[in-house]
Amino acid sequence: MSYGESSRQLVDHLFRHEAGKMIAVLTRIFGIHNLELVEDTVQETFLKALQVWKYQSIPDNPAGWLMQVARNRTIDLIRRQHKMADISEELRHRIQSDTEQVIGEFFLDTEIADSQLRMIFTCCHPALNPEDQIALTLKTVSGFGVSEIAKALVSSEGTIQKRLYRARQYIQEHAIRFEIPAGELLKDRLETVYTVLYLLFNEGYNSSKSDELIRYDLCAEAMRLCKLLSEHQVGNTPSSFALLSLMCFQASRFDSRMGDDNTIILLEHQDRKGWNQDLIRRGYHYLSLSASGNELSVYHIESAIAAEHCLASDFASTNWEAMLKLYDYLLEHKPIPIVQLNRAILLAQLGRLETAIDTILGIPGIDQLLKHHYIYNAVLGDLYGKANNITEARRLLEKAYELTPSLAEKKLLKDKIDHLP
């Protein structure tokens, strides 16, 4: 690998991890109405890193280098302003002669963390359409590309572009404040914040990228933001702990999900000794913390389902009856197709194969789901194979193969097709 190529890969990696922090801090300085200016400044910082690191040695602390360049650029922009209209009200009250010292305070670790939470809650403003809130947060806080957001929200790239434009315009025209709300206003936004973090983790857990089934960086970012939220007084809630618990349980299986040759290892064939016991212990710890109070969210139920897998010493000893009850309860609170699909898989595990197939065929909008989403074809095709309906099994598995962008999933599906009678 060339030096230039390695520096580009590092910059791409850092963009995912640091761009959201930088945008949050700069937005606190310039105000949310200047979001485009902020994004341009961050983009310039990363372009400068590409240019400098290509020909010079990469600094020992590249993330710190990026923050320092962004900080200096900010000081330069403010010093060149003869009026203070383009900075936030908060900074206008604080800044006097020592611009550098005041700006430096915004780049302290505690201020960065607080700024990121402000950014998340600002993007999740209830005046915005819920889908626009999620799209804007994934783009601004976590550095998602438009195609990744489209996949996460089961939408088209054109629609996502419109949502992002609409959200930014609304924020600018209505002078939305860059803040963490309080009281009842906080409750309204927390649910969307949870949804964003959940989607971020899910995209990492089952990536839309063709050559990378698990995107560890996305999952780590979701877990970092969720932990950040749970440690702040506004997010110290049972639902935050339940969501963090779910992420820990799911992440504990990462190393067992893929073989050395980039093949998918299904749950029933995974070596559970390879599951990360430290993450499992953390999962139980956060699940225990989530039990305080009377709050029960979908994240509590999903975490309890994930915990059941961790409790079983092997696939055969899984308590499928307990899992089915949990899925019945989840379906009451989250009646969406993917929950119905997963419940059907449990029915098949319990020997109720025909009921499982009928359940999937009875999912509202199943015809459209089978046209556009590989997972419904893959599961239904697998069940038809077990029911000895080979014609339907082959047709559905081939359709799933056609729809999935993942090379690892294509390999698994081809293997299933090749082993049909």
Is pTM beyond 0.85? Reply is: no
CA torsion through residues 198, 201, 203, 205, sign:
negative
pLDDT of residue 6: 65
Residue 76, burial from CB neighbour count under 10 angstroms (0-12, 13-18, 19+): exposed
- Would the pLDDT of 331 be above 90? yes
242: Cβ–Cβ under 8 A, 6 or more apart, which residues? 286, 287, 290, 297, 299, 300, 303
User: pLDDT tens digits, residue range 249-289?
Assistant: 999 999 899 888 888 899 999 999 999 999 999 999 999 99
User: pLDDT tens digits, residue range 26-73?
Assistant: 888 888 888 888 888 888 888 888 888 877 778 888 888 888 888 788
Q: Are 387 and 357 in contact (CB under 8 A)?
A: yes
User: pLDDT tens digits, residue range 342-351?
Assistant: 999 999 999 9
Domains in the chain, ordered, with CATH?
237-318 (no CATH), 334-421 (1.25.40.10)
